[in-house]
Amino acid sequence: MLQGPGENAGVIDLGAGEAVAFKVESHNHPSAVEPFQGAATGVGGILRDIVAMGARPIALLDGLRFGRPGWAFDRAVAGIGHYGNCVGVPTVGGEAVFDEAYEQNCLVNAMCVGLLPAQRVTRARASGPGNLVVLFGSTTGRDGIGGASVLASHELAEDDEDKRPTVQIGDPFTGKKLIEVSLDLVERGLVESLQDCGAAGLASSLAEMARDGAGIDVHLDRVPLREDDLEPWEVMISESQERMVAVVRPQMLAAVEAVCARWELRCTVVGDVTDTGELRAFHDDELVGAIPARLLTDECPRYEVERRPRSARARPRDERPLRQRLADPNGRSRRWIYEQYDHLVGSRTIRRPGLDAAVVRLRPSLRGLAVSLDGPPVGERDPFRAGAVAVLGAARNVACAGGEPLALTDCLNFGNPEKPEVAWELAEAIEGIAQAAEALGIPVVSGNVSLYNETDGRAIPPTPVVGCVGLVPDVRSTPSRWREGDVLLLAAAPGELELAAEAALVRFLWKAAPLLSLAHDVGHGGIDAALAEAALWSGIGAEIELPPGEPCGGAALLACDPGDVTRLGTRGLTRLGVVGGNSILGLPLDELRAAWEGEP
């Protein structure tokens, strides 16, 4: 691990001089008020977090939870496509879950994965008194004022249309230029540190930069404005998009300005680094605000909130016939969603979206990264289980694509934590994530918390959404499709959420992957649904004998050449059947495909 929590994103060493930076972040409240721009700027924000680490973004994933398919969901998908497609970063995966519990409070979680040389991790911390603080990118306006404070820190209610002005507007073209300029600056060694201007605007980005004794003086009258009557406090907290802050040594300024000019991007010296440890704001040389930066960061007020357990009743299993479950918005193919995203730009996408994890190649080598983003099943109310199951699902997805899970990132979506029951859910979910991660032996390197996801006093269910990144040693042996004559097996972890057994299953899966033509996580829909998905994905049916009962813990389907079965070992494996024919479980594939594909 090269960088853990506390920076813009976590960074993991991949060996061979390469490192991967990644993080998931929420944009729930803005998306609830205005889904297109809310989702678009969610993508823009997470991209800048990765770029601030000096990494080139190579993959995006999105976790979407909505009440139902329909206008709001379509607009969020369009917003994600608008931004991701336009900036040229492939959107390769994620989840789309529909449940009426998210009707008033949709979840839009965006994850970005970036690649950088291992010895060049860029950080946000300012250093070197006398160095310049340079703001580059878009101008600053009134859009997004109060985005973090008004919108994200309160429950939603009936009059939320009034809050539309607090939602930022995305400009992916400037976002694209910002990415190219930032990476150019880092590659040329022109900046000491980089920071995204995100929630709470300059106030939070400068406070986060002014740490460890360094201070920052900012001159708000020097900030280029979109409208000229902004108050200093508005300049300080505006969340206008597509802006970044860099610390630049004075002798490098001309070179920085030249890079920005080449990309026709505005850049302005707005302040300098001091040794006061204070964040001081000036307007026309008059001091208009000062605070020790540590009070906004490491020493900010902490709350010990009361926790009260609440009983959680699990929703009964969906017992409808397979065809109906496959046609359900939660059971059907996500093709109609991911086909609206460019998932190929970069020419790295070895395993495309649609099944478990995608794999992107680390060109020019044959190594690859398997990436997934996964949350708890619909109706899961037990927060510990939700956290653990999300971690294990994300890791299993990566392992099914042949990746050895390396690290996790998490987005904690919860209700109002001032309520003891929600505070308890939050603590329990964190414990579930922590224990599952420990069982897997991998770190959680970054993440984000989204609270107050409730409307009129009704909170969303505990929804920790977990991203996992894994290393595929050779993309040529990525499991892809099952083939005629392959033997089908079921690998299941014994017991109900026995973490050691779950971790052993994950380990078995990625180690076995090079021998497998296909591996597919059984997930929340059951063995029959997983078999149907794998058959439709592969375009060929199978002769199956279902085992009695469903596994209580994690499980995966495996397909391999009959000659390789003995090399897998037999412990914990159940033989399900043989690949062949045009039907599965007695249902013709074309009939199932008609139910499974197309839009809900």
Partner 1 sequence: MTERPRIGVVVFPGSNDDRDAAWALGALGAEPVVVWHADEQLPDVAGIVLPGGFSYGDYLRCGAIARLSPAMRAVAEFAAEGGPVLGICNGFQILCEARLLPGVLRPNASRRFVCRDVALRVERTDIPLMSRCLTGQRLVIPIKHGEGCWFVDEAALERVAELDQVVLRYDGKNPNGSVGGVAGVCNPEGNVLGLMPHPEHAVDPLLGSGDGALILASLVDAAREHHGSLAATL
Query: Contact residues for partner 1 (CB under 8 A)?
Result: 78, 81, 85-88, 171-174, 176-177, 180, 263-264, 338-347, 349-350, 352, 361, 363, 475-476
> Which is closer to partner 1, CB of 168 or CB of 205?
168
Q: Which residue has the tokens 């004022």?
A: 145
> Which is closer to partner 1, CB of 498 or CB of 597?
597
The Cα angle at residue 393 between residues 597 and 478, in degrees rounded to 5: 70
CB of 350 to partner 1, least distance (A): 6
Instruction: Check: CB of residue 593 under 8 Å from CB of residue 541.
Output: no
Q: Which residue has the tokens 């969901």?
A: 73
> Which is closer to partner 1, CB of 178 or CB of 386?
178
User: What is the spatial distance between Cα 83 and Cα 2, in angstroms, rounded to a whole number?
Assistant: 29
Q: Which residue has the tokens 């058959």?
A: 535
User: What is the spatial distance between Cα 206 and Cα 126, in angstroms, rounded to a whole number?
Assistant: 9
Instruction: Check: CB of residue 87 under 8 Å from CB of residue 341.
Output: no
CB of 439 to partner 1, least distance (A): 33
CB of 335 to partner 1, least distance (A): 8
Coil, strand or helix at 211: coil
CB of 117 to partner 1, least distance (A): 17
**Burial of 278: CB neighbours in 10 Å, binned 0-12, 13-18, 19+:** middle
> Which is closer to partner 1, CB of 12 or CB of 256?
256
**Burial of 506: CB neighbours in 10 Å, binned 0-12, 13-18, 19+:** buried
> Which is closer to partner 1, CB of 44 or CB of 215?
44
> At residue 149, what are phi and psi to the nearest 5 degrees?
-85, -45
> Which is closer to partner 1, CB of 5 or CB of 117?
117
* Residue 463 Rama label (left phi>0; alpha psi -120 to 50; beta): beta
For 362, what's the count of Cα atoms within 13 Å in the CB-facing half-sphere?
25
> Which is closer to partner 1, CB of 176 or CB of 520?
176
* Residue in 164, 172, 114, 125 with CA at minimum distance from that of residue 143: 164
CB of 176 to partner 1, least distance (A): 6
CB of 469 to partner 1, least distance (A): 20
CB of 224 to partner 1, least distance (A): 19
Helix, strand, coil in percent for the chain, rounding step 5: 35, 30, 40
> Which is closer to partner 1, CB of 80 or CB of 398?
80
Chain-centre distance of CA 101, in angstroms?
21
> Which is closer to partner 1, CB of 81 or CB of 141?
81
The Cα angle at residue 355 between residues 351 and 359, in degrees rounded to 5: 25
Contacts (Cβ under 8 Å, ≥6 apart) of 251 = none
CB of 261 to partner 1, least distance (A): 11
CB of 347 to partner 1, least distance (A): 4
CB of 186 to partner 1, least distance (A): 17
CB of 10 to partner 1, least distance (A): 26
Coil, strand or helix at 233: helix
> Which is closer to partner 1, CB of 291 or CB of 345?
345
Instruction: Check: CB of residue 22 under 8 Å from CB of residue 464.
Output: no
> Which is closer to partner 1, CB of 80 or CB of 296?
80
* Residue in 540, 529, 600, 544 with CA at minimum distance from that of residue 377: 529
